[in-house]
Chain A
Amino acid sequence: MSVIVYTESWNNVFRKNTYETVSYAKTISNELSEELYAISFGEVDKLELEKLSTYGVTKVYSFTKINKGDSQTVTSIIENEFSDSKLFIFSNTYTSKMITSRLSIRLKAALITNVVDTVNNLDPLTVKRQSFSSKAIEKVTAKTNKVILSIAPNSYQLIENNTNIEIKIFDIEKDSDLNILSQENSTDKISLSEAEIIVSAGRGLKGPENWGMIEELASLLNAATACSKPVSDIGWRPHSEHVGQTGKAVSPNLYIAIGISGAIQHLAGVNSSKNIVVINTDSEAPFFKAANYGIVGDAFEVIPKIIEEIKKSSL
């Protein structure tokens, strides 16, 4: 028997959260003394597929002509290829949310999403997940024989586990019920959900023309940029940058909040960040209560100094 890990690719490559998920899956497959097999949809180079062996995958099934966004076809393939497997590991991405929920019904498998910790118990499978918009950690147990876990990004470290890998490439094609007319990628930027550092700004910046220093700081730190809800609502920044409740939930190693007061809706999306730095003119801003480090001061004075300091120390 084997544990199955869904390895998602973007523009032919795997990203960090794919390898995090593989590392997580490998830890469980070791405990179960089972092989770890991966499945991938969409065009991915052979060299890229081979990289999965670094993290312990012994066999990968690559369906190069299947669009990963076609959840009906993807689900059918997983169901048919791995009918004996009992454990399926995904990462919590938009695409995998469409697949895991379908697969749960097909396989009569418990689906546990937003998993943030290693498995507590294997039989019955019990694991901790984040709920109540990160205000609580919930321990959940599966009531079924088969289980699907979906791991929150940035919640598990990469563990190398070199092995030999067998690569199986399939070129079957399938029509989808959804007709994808166009795709728009923002590939030049680091994706928010898996960024290790996020530089985020709010209304304290006074206008969209002042985002230059935010972008400069982000690029120096190799970080993604984000914003508060009011900023995306007024249209200073795109909705896709809105972090918080009704926007995106993030969990970077470092979240730098500039000119954001820290309304509870915003905190709901960021309080699983490992370190939070708050820069705000108002010493009473609620965000300071959720922060590890704080500077009470004017962003227009503090940020240029931070930029200068980082350049000096040439990170």
Chain B
Amino acid sequence: MKILICLSCVPDTTSKINFTDDDSKFDKSGIQFIINPYDEFGLTKAMMLKETNGCEITAITVGDISVEPILRKALAIGADKAVRINHDPKDSYSTAVEIASYIKSNSFDIIITGRESIDYNGCAVPGMISEILNLPFVNACINLEINDNSIKMIREIDGGKETIQAQTPIVVAGQKGLVEESDLRIPNMRGIMQARNKPLNIVEPINTTVFTQSIKFEKPKEKEECKLIDAGNVTELINLLKNEAKVI
């Protein structure tokens, strides 16, 4: 079975987010980049499936040369090959088109992505890939088991969960639950050495148009100073919530 794991290269969670070019672009200077946390759950799941079911794992990302460290990390953790589509992603649509085009020419049984990326939070790429390729799609997947060529999954839905069975090929957008936080892997020295001999292919983009364009960023309003209330005076808290904030 062949698995494709789609990775997005995102600023580390603790990064201060700033913008340049008259607030029209994200300022990458001084930012530490990581594998998108939702994608890392998927990557770890792919590694487990490789161990239990002998799957072949390809990691893919869309980006310029600066995103290669995340692919090297995926290879060091155990992915068999890596692919970088040499294109600075502009919107969900163009990103999905590039990945779908790669999938068309290199068939896969399971395509795993994260539920969303922590930078643009679009939640759109996995669904778009599945539509371009006319494949079934399971969003917010929190469990996945392979039985022959059918797979059984649990997905989170608003206010509950669903157990589903589907045939491959399929697109799955994962989140925590697919694996636990404690299952996440750190590359070891042997993995890092082996990764050097694994293929990292660069694919040129097919240059699609975009559907949306970011024109301006702003920071949310600063919070006012926190009003501290004495622990012995909860009446005041209740009053403030009732009469000042008017929320209870």
With known contacts A133-B118, A136-B220, A177–B136 Cβ distance under 8 A? yes
Residues of the B chain whose Cβ atoms lie less than 8 Å from the Cβ of A302: 231, 234
- Is A71 a contact of B137 with CB atoms below 8 Å? yes
With known contacts A137-B218, A143-B211, A197-B248, A268–B13 Cβ distance under 8 A? yes
Query: How many pairs of residues, A versus B, come closer than 8 Å at their CB atoms?
Result: 264
- Is A295 a contact of B241 with CB atoms below 8 Å? no
Residue B219 lies at the interface, judged by CB distance under 8 Å to chain A: yes
Which of B44-52, B65-73, B121-129 is near enough to bind chain A?
A: B121-129
Residue B235 lies at the interface, judged by CB distance under 8 Å to chain A: yes
A216-272 contacts to B, CB under 8 A, are: 221, 229, 233, 239-240, 242, 245-247, 249, 253-254, 264-265, 268, 271-272
Residue B196 lies at the interface, judged by CB distance under 8 Å to chain A: no
Residue B215 lies at the interface, judged by CB distance under 8 Å to chain A: yes
Residue B166 lies at the interface, judged by CB distance under 8 Å to chain A: yes
- A104–B209 Cα distance when bound, in Å, is 14
- A191–B157 Cα distance when bound, in Å, is 11
Residue B206 lies at the interface, judged by CB distance under 8 Å to chain A: no
Nearest-Cβ distance from residue B243 to partner chain A, whole angstroms: 11
Residues of the B chain whose Cβ atoms lie less than 8 Å from the Cβ of A36: none
Nearest-Cβ distance from residue A78 to partner chain B, whole angstroms: 12
The residue that B226 contacts in the complex, of A139, A292, A301, with Cβ under 8 A, is: A292
Which of B78-86, B174-182, B186-194 is near enough to bind chain A?
A: B174-182
- A48–B221 Cα distance when bound, in Å, is 38
Residues of the B chain whose Cβ atoms lie less than 8 Å from the Cβ of A315: 248
With known contacts A141-B212, A143-B210, A101–B247 Cβ distance under 8 A? no
With known contacts A180-B163, A294-B229, A104–B140 Cβ distance under 8 A? no
The residue of chain A having its C-beta at the shortest distance from the C-beta of B159 within the complex is A191
Residue A40 lies at the interface, judged by CB distance under 8 Å to chain B: no
With known contacts A102-B127, A293-B240, A184–B223 Cβ distance under 8 A? no
Residues of the B chain whose Cβ atoms lie less than 8 Å from the Cβ of A305: 234
- Is A265 a contact of B13 with CB atoms below 8 Å? yes
The residue of chain A having its C-beta at the shortest distance from the C-beta of B175 within the complex is A246
With known contacts A104-B124, A113-B122, A291-B226, A254–B247 Cβ distance under 8 A? yes
Nearest-Cβ distance from residue B242 to partner chain A, whole angstroms: 8
Residue A130 lies at the interface, judged by CB distance under 8 Å to chain B: yes
Per the CB 8 Å criterion, the residue count for chain A at the interface is: 99
Residues of the B chain whose Cβ atoms lie less than 8 Å from the Cβ of A47: none
- Is A233 a contact of B182 with CB atoms below 8 Å? yes
Residue B213 lies at the interface, judged by CB distance under 8 Å to chain A: yes
Residue B33 lies at the interface, judged by CB distance under 8 Å to chain A: no
- Is A132 a contact of B119 with CB atoms below 8 Å? yes
Residue A131 lies at the interface, judged by CB distance under 8 Å to chain B: yes
Residue B107 lies at the interface, judged by CB distance under 8 Å to chain A: no
- A293–B54 Cα distance when bound, in Å, is 54
Per the CB 8 Å criterion, the residue count for chain B at the interface is: 82
Residues of the B chain whose Cβ atoms lie less than 8 Å from the Cβ of A265: 13
Residue B162 lies at the interface, judged by CB distance under 8 Å to chain A: yes
With known contacts A93-B158, A183-B162, A186-B159, A293–B237 Cβ distance under 8 A? yes
With known contacts A131-B120, A135-B220, A254-B241, A182–B162 Cβ distance under 8 A? yes
- Is B247 a contact of A275 with CB atoms below 8 Å? yes
- Is B229 a contact of A289 with CB atoms below 8 Å? no
Residue A85 lies at the interface, judged by CB distance under 8 Å to chain B: no
With known contacts A181-B163, A254-B245, A289–B212 Cβ distance under 8 A? no
- Is A278 a contact of B226 with CB atoms below 8 Å? yes
The residue of chain A having its C-beta at the shortest distance from the C-beta of B118 within the complex is A133
Residues of the B chain whose Cβ atoms lie less than 8 Å from the Cβ of A310: 238, 248
With known contacts A98-B137, A140-B213, A177–B167 Cβ distance under 8 A? yes
- Taking A141-B212, A292-B224 as given, write out 10 further A-B residue pairs in contact, using a Cβ cutoff of 8 Å, ordered by the A residue number: A94-B155, A114-B123, A126-B215, A131-B121, A136-B217, A184-B161, A184-B162, A254-B241, A293-B227, A294-B227
Q: Which 4 A-B pairs have the closest CB atoms?
A: A101-B127, A297-B231, A185-B160, A102-B131
26 contacts between A and B (CB under 8 A): A69-B162, A72-B136, A98-B137, A102-B127, A105-B132, A108-B211, A113-B121, A113-B124, A132-B118, A132-B120, A135-B220, A136-B17, A136-B218, A140-B215, A177-B136, A179-B165, A180-B164, A186-B160, A239-B177, A242-B176, A246-B37, A249-B121, A271-B220, A288-B228, A292-B223, A296-B231
Question: Taking beta carbons and an 8 Å cutoff, which residues of B are in contact with A?
Answer: 11, 13-14, 17, 19, 26, 37-38, 41, 92-93, 96, 118-128, 130-132, 136-140, 142, 152, 155-167, 175-177, 180-182, 209-220, 223-224, 226-231, 234-235, 237-238, 240-242, 245, 247-248
Question: Taking beta carbons and an 8 Å cutoff, which residues of A are in contact with B?
Answer: 8, 10, 69, 71-72, 75, 92-95, 97-102, 104-106, 108-114, 126, 130-144, 177-187, 189, 191, 193, 196-197, 221, 229, 233, 239-240, 242, 245-247, 249, 253-254, 264-265, 268, 271-272, 274-278, 288-298, 301-302, 305-306, 309-310, 313, 315
